Amino acid sequence: MSQESIGLIGGTGPQGRGLAMRLAQAGFRVWVGSRSPERAKETAASLNTQAGTTNIEGAGNAEVVAGSKYVLLTVPFDSAVQTVEGLSGHFTAGKVFVDVTVPLRFEKGGPTIVELPEGSASAHLRRIVPEGIPFVGAFKTLPAHLLEHVYTPLECDTFVFGDDESAKAEVMEIARRIPTLRPVDVGDLGAAPFVEGMTALVIRINRTLKSREGRYRIVGAGS
Amino acid sequence: MSQESIGLIGGTGPQGRGLAMRLAQAGFRVWVGSRSPERAKETAASLNTQAGTTNIEGAGNAEVVAGSKYVLLTVPFDSAVQTVEGLSGHFTAGKVFVDVTVPLRFEKGGPTIVELPEGSASAHLRRIVPEGIPFVGAFKTLPAHLLEHVYTPLECDTFVFGDDESAKAEVMEIARRIPTLRPVDVGDLGAAPFVEGMTALVIRINRTLKSREGRYRIVGAGS
């Protein structure tokens, strides 16, 4: 694996599969990780077929972390803490951690966000990812269903936050390589609760407007 | 005052002034309220000049509530509780309360949301507005600066929530009359924290992208 490759922990889930294909189409070398290396390899092959790419490979989560510079966490939030704790020995200096999780809870009145003592999934996970590893939040509001329709233009924004300006800029640059996706810098980790809440909100909107592909675009700021 | 008119409590503030002009241009009879009736009348006259309208009038907050079917709360959140408590005797049956407040707090890292025991300004205020009055949240993410530029098309969405479906539908119909503004139903009062958080987030975005007019549009759901 190249040091510059992008790895997805839990990349066989819906959000991971969609991001893997979009990133592969943008030219990145992408590693899809799973607890089962077998399953990861099978998924990678199927994603390459679907996306018309050859640069997606599959491996166990630990191997994916060890071999990637940018590590995206795309597991369901319920298993995020356990997954990251189990992999923490592999987060060596020079890597960037990108949190894509959202602590959704589905209630009668509509989706909402699990209350966490730190106020957000990202702030919660920041305490678990080794301190020296820059922590960035990104891609949280993009619907998995849309990402997986690899020939549908995204035509939207993704909100990127983090305390390490340099790592944030690198992740924004990765996002910018995905056609018609605009990364928008929303500041430090304090933005996490707002971005995560927007995921709950857009699922509510999808229900009301009978869509599965609603996403956000900022009008009137930037291009 | 007509029973069908729209009243703005604290309508002499930036958000109130902007909404008053947009609603007046859409043809509604608008009452701008202030603690000082004098100030309200002066503001109304100035807004009519600015917006090219004649249907904005000013009065004391109590008179505005008494005379309006739809009552929008556009005071800063800091004074929202005291203001609503002072006016509660005027909320008679048949009125609809529309909360426009956002509990913003400006910190070093960027704007954030004041933590409230109920989780949102709207849930907090719902306990103070008389029980029989339907409570709707709307217009929370629209920048005052943009609203006041009355000849700039809004070209964005506003997120409307509330537990009373009929009152919510009426407020959405009012919003729909403002050109190029689309009301989006985001469900019940449980959506309030997410919508309020988006206001903090868009101020962060405005800072980063050096704008004062950033706002949200949903892509891929509805028209």
Of the pLDDT bands very low, low, confident and very high (cuts 50, 70, 90), residue B3 is very low
Structure tokens at A67: 């071999």
B223 pLDDT more than 90: no
A121: left (phi over 0), alpha (psi -120 to 50) or beta: alpha
* Nearest-by-CA chain A residue for B199: A194
The H-or-E segment that residue B159 falls in is strand B156-162
Give the C-alpha separation, A155 to A181, whole Å.
6
Check the CA dihedral B215-B219-B222-B223 and report its sign.
positive
Q: Which amino acid is at B127?
A: R
The H-or-E segment that residue A33 falls in is strand A30-34
ipTM score of the complex?
Answer: 0.93
Q: How close B190 gets to chain A, by Cα (Å)? A: 7
- Tens of pLDDT, residues B5-38: 999 999 999 999 999 999 999 999 999 999 999 9
Give the C-alpha separation, A10 to A73, whole Å.
7
Q: Which residues of B touch A218 (CB under 8 A)?
A: 202, 205, 209, 214-217
How many A-B residue pairs are in contact by the CB < 8 A criterion?
Answer: 137
> Which residue from A110, A195, A213 is facing B190, i.e. has the nearest CB?
A110
- Tens of pLDDT, residues A64-123: 999 999 999 999 999 999 999 999 999 999 999 999 999 999 988 889 999 999 999 999
Collect all residues from A whose CB is shorter than 8 A from any CB in B: 107, 109-110, 112-113, 146, 155-156, 159, 184-188, 190-191, 193-195, 197-198, 200-202, 204-211, 213-222
Please say whether the beta carbons of A7 and A31 come within 8 A.
Answer: yes
pTM, to two decimals: 0.95
Q: Which residues of B touch A159 (CB under 8 A)?
A: 201, 205
Give the C-alpha separation, A134 to A128, whole Å.
12
Q: How close B194 gets to chain A, by Cα (Å)? A: 5
Structure tokens at B177: 């009359």
Note whether B220 contacts A211, CB cutoff 8 Å: yes
- Tens of pLDDT, residues B150-198: 999 999 999 999 999 999 999 999 999 999 999 999 999 999 999 999 9
Note whether A214 contacts B219, CB cutoff 8 Å: yes
Q: Residue B38: how many CB atoms within 10 A of its CB?
A: 10
Please say whether the beta carbons of A10 and A19 come within 8 A.
Answer: no
DSSP secondary structure of A8-25: EETTTSHHHHHHHHHHHH
Q: How close B95 gets to chain A, by Cα (Å)? A: 24
List, in order of start, the domains of chain A with CATH numbers. Answer: 6-208 (3.40.50.720)
Half-sphere exposure of B31 (CA within 13 A, CB side): 26
Q: How close B137 gets to chain A, by Cα (Å)? A: 14
Structure tokens at B84: 């609503």
Q: Which residues of B touch A141 (CB under 8 A)?
A: none
Q: Residue A117: how many CB atoms within 10 A of its CB?
A: 7
> Which of B76, B119, B132 is closest to B99 using CA atoms?
B76
User: Which residue bears the tokens 């819906």?
Assistant: A14
> Which of B8, B23, B17 is closest to B148 using CA atoms?
B17
Vertex B123 angle, CA B118 and B124, to 5°: 70
- Tens of pLDDT, residues B49-105: 999 999 999 999 999 999 999 999 999 999 999 999 999 999 999 999 999 999 999
Of the pLDDT bands very low, low, confident and very high (cuts 50, 70, 90), residue A185 is very high
Residue A223 has a pLDDT of 64
Q: Which amino acid is at A96?
A: V
